[in-house]
Amino acid sequence: MKMLFSSSDLAEVKRLRRKLFAAGIQCQVRQNPVAHGVFGTPSLPELWITDHERILKALKLFGKQRLSQMTVIVPKD
C-alpha cells in the first residue's frame, strides 16, 4: 500500500477516493491520530492506494491541473 495524496480538505480526499473507486482502483482514506500535532504540524487525511502497480493510472485521473500542484515521488521497488 502506498500513500498517493494528502490534503487538509477531507472532502477533496473523499471525492478523489470515489473517483478512483469508480475507475476500479482500490484505495482508502487514512488519518493518523497519533501523529496529530507532532513537530507542530496537524495530521492530514491521506489517500492510500492498495495496488501500487496502478499508481500511474490513478495519477492520470487526478488531471493535469492537480498534478501540476503536486510533488510526485514514485520509488523504484
Bridge partners (DSSP) of residue 5 are 47
Give pLDDT tens digits for 22-66.
999 999 998 876 655 666 667 788 888 888 888 888 888 887 777
In three-state secondary structure terms, 47 is strand
Q: What is the CATH number of the domain that holds 20?
A: 3.30.70
Asked if residue 28 belongs to a domain, the reply is yes
Q: Are 49 and 2 in contact (CB under 8 A)?
A: yes
**Whole-number pLDDT of residue 23:** 94
Number of domains observed in the structure of the chain = 1
Angle at CA 61, nearest 5°, toward 24 and 44?
90
Please check the confidence at residue 8 and state whether its pLDDT lies above 70: yes
Give the structural domain span for 10: 2-65
pTM of the entire predicted model:
0.73
Mean pLDDT of all residues in 60-76: 71
Which one is predicted more confidently, 12 or 77?
12
